[in-house]
């Protein structure tokens, strides 16, 4: 593809027609870091905006080995047999350094990877969580415009990726495993606070009893926290992605959450607030990019850092001076 020569109107028409090749080209344009490509990407998104927003946006997190790929493959395959079109966007902030597990995830989703009603796409980080967020958000919109009515955003469950993903979806599912002894060991309070549901995975065979015990303890933990929504109390369930046990219940809870949020008006308000926060994030990102583009900026940054470390100037004064580069 030659992004600088893209006819955005023609490309938008192809994306709307569910042309998978065109969708891949559009995502490649979105992922480009060149300023002229970003301008064209913005034009493309503006053209497609009226055709976005109708999909269910679901975030799934959990530590490596919790069974996210198996769950998504099993649940997703069931959904596509019910005439849904599913897009899976895999977020891994570590992939830039190590190659990550993205390709492994895709091959582990054996059924979805060959399902014409499914689309699997990694979101490379470009070294920053902000890069992941930008590409994932905008890729999600492209997929919606292409007719995918369920979007699953998967994160590895480390660092700040959970919060970033939770702020771009309607429903945030946290997958957990049973542990030895203290079932709550290793869980982060912040993750519980943003979860719309906790599912104890791999609740099969001899592990069922331990899974039920873990679920009871997580319910107790949730009872002492204030729910993120006054209209929704996050349920805790046990499932087996491998054996497709409990996944009907899981999807029913996702549907119930959607109905509750829509009825209360919280669904639309949440999406609106997400868009406003995204606007401010993009503005801050653009201002930083302009600062870095200023001639001699890196030297001025280094000088400011030296002066602040040495106590010659205050941090506020240094920041004000650097902002003056934009005048």
Residue 180's pLDDT band (boundaries 50, 70, 90)? Answer: very low
pLDDT, average across residues 188-214: 87
Instruction: Specify the higher pLDDT residue, 5 or 256.
Output: 256
pLDDT, average across residues 216-234: 87
**Domain for residue 4, yes or no?**
yes
**Domain for residue 270, yes or no?**
no
pLDDT at 189: 63
**Domain for residue 269, yes or no?**
no
Tell whether 45 and 76 lie within a shared domain.
no
H or E element, residue 159: none
pLDDT at 201: 94
CA trace torsion 289, 287, 138, 25 (10° rounding): -40
- Number of domains the chain contains: 3
Instruction: Tell which residue, 107, 178, 120, 124, has the closest CA to residue 150.
Output: 120
The domain in which residue 18 lies consists of 1-50
pLDDT at 105 over 80: no
Tell whether 192 and 237 lie within a shared domain.
yes
pLDDT in tens, 125-140: 555 554 456 688 899 9
* C-beta of residue 115 within 8 angstroms of C-beta of residue 77: yes
Q: What percent of the chain has pLDDT over 90?
A: 56
Strand ranges of the sheet holding 150-155, from the earlier edge strand across to the other edge: 118-123, 86-91, 150-155, 56-61, 171-176, 197-200, 236-238
Instruction: Specify the higher pLDDT residue, 106 or 88.
Output: 88
**3 state SS of 245:** strand
* C-beta of residue 71 within 8 angstroms of C-beta of residue 242: no
Residue 179's pLDDT band (boundaries 50, 70, 90)? Answer: low
What mean pLDDT value characterizes the chain?
86
pLDDT, average across residues 234-258: 96
Tell whether 309 and 213 lie within a shared domain.
no
Task: Please identify, among 216, 233, 264, the residue that sits at the C-terminal boundary of a domain.
Answer: 264
pLDDT at 53: 94
List 236's β-bridge partners, or say none: 198
pLDDT, average across residues 62-73: 89
**Domain for residue 260, yes or no?**
yes
Tell whether 171 and 76 lie within a shared domain.
yes
**Domain for residue 271, yes or no?**
no
pLDDT at 119: 95
Residue 182's pLDDT band (boundaries 50, 70, 90)? Answer: very low
List 199's β-bridge partners, or say none: 175, 237
Pairwise CA distance, residues 128 & 267, whole Å: 29
Give me the helices (H) in the chain, please: 8-16, 20-31, 35-48, 68-81, 95-98, 102-108, 129-145, 161-166, 189-194, 208-223, 247-264, 266-293, 297-310, 315-323
Query: How many CA atoms are closer than 13 Å to the CA of 288, on its beta-carbon side?
Result: 7
pLDDT at 131: 47
pLDDT at 58 over 90: yes
pLDDT at 187 over 70: no
Tell whether 172 and 224 lie within a shared domain.
yes
Pairwise CA distance, residues 259 & 63, whole Å: 29
pLDDT at 101: 44
pLDDT, average across residues 208-232: 88
Pairwise CA distance, residues 179 & 189, whole Å: 17
The CATH number covering residue 71 comes to 3.40.50.300
Residue 107's pLDDT band (boundaries 50, 70, 90)? Answer: low
Instruction: Specify the higher pLDDT residue, 6 or 7.
Output: 7
DSSP letter at 189 equals H
pLDDT at 67 over 50: yes
Pairwise CA distance, residues 95 & 154, whole Å: 13
pLDDT at 10 over 60: yes
Residue 3's pLDDT band (boundaries 50, 70, 90)? Answer: very low
pLDDT at 5: 72
pLDDT in tens, 264-314: 999 999 999 999 998 998 888 888 888 888 888 899 999 999 999 999 999
Instruction: Tell which residue, 278, 254, 281, 249, has the closest CA to residue 267.
Output: 254
Tell whether 291 and 252 lie within a shared domain.
no
pLDDT at 74: 96
Pairwise CA distance, residues 137 & 146, whole Å: 15
């Amino acid at each position: 593809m030659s992004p600088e020569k893209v006819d955005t109107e023609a490309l938008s028409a192809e994306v709307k027609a569910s042309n998978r090749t065109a969708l891949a080209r559009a995502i490649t344009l979105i992922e480009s870091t060149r300023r002229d490509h970003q301008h064209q990407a913005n034009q493309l998104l503006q053209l497609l905006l009226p055709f976005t927003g109708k999909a269910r946006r679901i975030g799934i997190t959990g530590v490596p080995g919790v069974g996210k790929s198996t769950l998504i493959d099993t649940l997703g395959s069931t959904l596509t047999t019910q005439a849904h079109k599913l897009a899976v966007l895999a977020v891994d902030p570590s992939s830039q350094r190590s190659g990550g597990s993205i390709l492994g995830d895709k091959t582990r989703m054996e059924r979805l990877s060959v399902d014409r009603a499914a689309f699997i796409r990694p979101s490379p980080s470009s070294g920053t969580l902000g890069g992941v967020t930008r590409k994932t958000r905008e890729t999600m919109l492209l997929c919606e415009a292409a007719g995918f009515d369920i979007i699953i955003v998967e994160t590895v469950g480390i660092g700040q990726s959970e919060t970033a993903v939770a702020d771009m979806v309607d429903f945030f599912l946290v997958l957990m495993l049973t542990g030895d002894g203290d079932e709550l060991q290793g869980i982060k309070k912040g993750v519980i606070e943003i979860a719309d549901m906790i599912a104890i995975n791999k609740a099969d065979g001899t592990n069922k009893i331990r899974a039920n015990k873990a679920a009871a303890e997580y319910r107790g933990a949730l009872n002492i926290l204030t729910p993120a929504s006054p209209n929704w109390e996050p349920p805790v369930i046990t499932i087996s992605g491998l054996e497709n046990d409990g996944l009907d219940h899981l999807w029913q809870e996702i549907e119930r959450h959607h109905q509750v949020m829509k009825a209360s008006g919280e669904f639309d308000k949440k999406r609106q607030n997400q868009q406003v926060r995204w606007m401010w994030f993009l503005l801050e990102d653009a201002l930083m990019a302009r600062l870095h583009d200023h001639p001699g900026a890196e030297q001025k940054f280094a000088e400011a850092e030296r002066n602040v470390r040495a106590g010659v100037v205050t941090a506020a004064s240094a920041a004000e001076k650097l902002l003056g580069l934009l005048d």
